[in-house]
């Protein structure tokens, strides 16, 4: 018999959870404090990335962050501030950034990304959302220096060993694969295993489908409290009403940590802000790329090319730092010298906050404190890529089914 389920959070993870839970016959209600037209699920690079096997918490990352701390235009910016939650998270991040922990995480990240890539294809084949962009042109890791090349080749060797499709490209190869744009790079590592989409196309289609099949979508409604009865959560109170449920899914992205505090639960999480610029005119770019020395992403989407990047730890806020947006424009010009991003395109930049766990792995699984609470958050830069896989796993967890993969690495109460 189907359950009455409340999902807190209407980003790609929350909506994917609703999608798969509804298919299992559950009555689903999604509650989001926004109108679900902006945020991380709308401004991301749209990548489906089995190649992203290295978690953000890796050796040298904290040192790099400290080095860049006083440069607000740097790709990895940690705003100096007195914040005990941030201090604890930083310490956990440091403890997670070891070679041993990274090596342990690599196969798990690969598996959940491949699962999600297959599910994106299944969703498109189902026709539930109608047609949408889903391409497998791979991802170019463009580099200018030998140092960047050597760094990425270490990752490429690991990816190849795991069976992912990857090859090296020289400048001649690049000109063949991208004939309509000049690229100033020594070469690229081409991860042919990757795909890309247009998030601003998929999100509205997913919302429309969910409404059509009976999922209740509550927008502009903020969760104020969650009732507790023994080892269970009884109801969700918002600024508009109160809702009882059999199960609750916490998929509130960067707000998940604050909501966990209402339940006396510790969920180490920090919002990592990213920015995007859209160029809605021909750029000649046809293959997604990461510009390594500029630490940014480029994606040819439906009707525009997106330039996205940066990781900014400055707490929960929607402030757009102009110097960070300008750095994206400069970074793009550095690799595509004939490309000019206009000031009005820079001024129209948007931002979104990605929920980052200390070890770079998501929190997916049942709470050990409350028997009817399931976590689905903390995906960092892979939230879009891992949305469908997380939704599928959530449906399996709540349905008491065997999960499609081992999820022990995503245990919400894991120690750091």
Q: What is the mean pLDDT of the chain?
A: 94
* Contact (CB, 8 A) for 279 and 250: no
Residue 61 has pLDDT above 90, yes or no: no
In whole angstroms, what is the distance from residue 71 CA to residue 252 CA? 30
Give the residue from 153, 128, 106, 135 showing the smallest Cα distance to 23.
128
Q: Is the pLDDT of residue 72 over 80?
A: no
Instruction: Return the pLDDT at 69.
Output: 59
- What pLDDT shows up at residue 104? 94
Residue 81's pLDDT is 78
Confidence of residue 310 (pLDDT cuts 50, 70, 90): confident
Residue 63 has pLDDT above 90, yes or no: no
**What is the average pLDDT across 44-57?**
93
Tens digits of per-residue pLDDT, 131-159?
Answer: 999 999 999 999 999 999 999 999 999 99
pLDDT band at residue 73 under the 50/70/90 scheme: low
How far CA 71 is from CA of 61, 114, 308, 376, in Å, comes to 16, 36, 19, 33
Q: Which CATH class is domain 4-410?
A: alpha beta
pLDDT of residue 74: 67
The residue behind tokens 């770079």 is 360
| Percentage of the chain modeled with pLDDT above 90 | 88
Q: What is the pLDDT averaged over residues 233-238?
A: 96
Q: Which residues contact 372 (CB under 8 A, 6 or more apart)?
A: 232, 233, 245, 246, 247, 248
- Which of 70-74, 192-196, 282-286 shows the lowest per-residue confidence on average (mean pLDDT)? 70-74
- What confidence score (pLDDT) does residue 295 get? 92
Spans of all domains in the chain: 4-410
Burial of 275 (0-12, 13-18, 19+ CB in 10 A): buried
**DSSP assignment letter at 193:** T
pLDDT classification of 1: cutoffs 50, 70, 90: confident
**pLDDT score of 53:** 94
Q: What confidence score (pLDDT) does residue 313 get?
A: 85
**Do the Cβ atoms of 184 and 336 come closer than 8 Å?**
yes
Q: Report the share of the chain in percent with pLDDT over 70.
A: 96
pLDDT digits (tens, 9 = 90+) for 21-34: 999 999 999 999 99
Average pLDDT over residues 377-403: 97
Among candidate residues 194, 226, 237, the one with its CA nearest the CA of residue 369 = 226
Q: What is the pLDDT of residue 66?
A: 59
């Amino acid at each position: 018999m189907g359950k009455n389920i409340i999902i807190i959070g209407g980003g790609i993870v929350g909506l994917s959870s609703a999608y798969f839970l509804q298919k299992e016959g559950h009555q689903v209600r999604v509650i989001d404090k926004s109108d679900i037209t902006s945020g991380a699920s709308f401004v991301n690079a749209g990548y489906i990335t089995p190649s992203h096997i290295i978690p953000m918490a890796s050796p040298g990352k904290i040192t790099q962050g400290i080095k860049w701390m006083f440069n607000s235009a740097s790709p990895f910016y940690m705003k100096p501030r007195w914040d005990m939650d941030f201090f604890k998270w930083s310490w956990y991040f440091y403890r997670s950034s070891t070679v041993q922990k990274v090596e342990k995480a690599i196969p798990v990240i690969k598996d959940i990304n491949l699962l999600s890539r297959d599910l994106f294809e299944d969703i498109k084949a189902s026709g539930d959302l109608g047609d949408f962009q889903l391409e497998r042109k791979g991802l170019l890791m463009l580099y200018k220096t030998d140092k960047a090349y050597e760094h990425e080749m270490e990752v490429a060797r690991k990816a190849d060993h795991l069976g992912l499709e990857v090859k090296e490209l020289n400048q001649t190869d690049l000109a063949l694969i991208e004939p309509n744009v000049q690229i100033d790079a020594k070469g690229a590592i081409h991860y042919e295993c990757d795909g890309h989409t247009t998030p601003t196309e998929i999100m509205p289609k997913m919302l429309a489908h969910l409404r059509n099949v009976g999922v209740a979508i509550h927008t502009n409604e903020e969760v104020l409290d969650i009732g507790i009865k023994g080892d269970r959560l009884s109801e969700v109170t918002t600024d508009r009403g109160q809702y009882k449920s059999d199960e609750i899914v916490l998929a509130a992205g960067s707000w998940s940590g604050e909501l966990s505090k209402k339940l006396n639960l510790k969920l180490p999480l920090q919002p990592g802000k990213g920015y995007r610029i859209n160029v809605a005119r021909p750029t000649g770019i046809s293959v997604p790329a990461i510009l390594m020395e500029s630490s940014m992403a480029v994606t040819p989407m439906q009707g525009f090319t997106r330039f996205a990047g940066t990781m900014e730890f400055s707490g929960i806020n929607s402030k757009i730092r102009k110097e960070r947006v300008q750095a994206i424009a400069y970074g793009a010009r550095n690799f595509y010298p004939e490309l000019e991003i206009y000031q009005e395109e820079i001024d129209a930049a948007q931002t979104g906050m990605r929920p980052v766990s200390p070890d770079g792995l998501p929190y997916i699984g049942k709470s050990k404190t409350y028997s009817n609470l399931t976590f689905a958050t903390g995906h960092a830069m892979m939230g879009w890529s891992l949305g469908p896989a997380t939704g599928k796993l959530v449906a399996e967890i709540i349905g008491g089914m065997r999960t499609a993969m081992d999820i022990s690495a995503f245990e919400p109460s894991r120690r750091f």
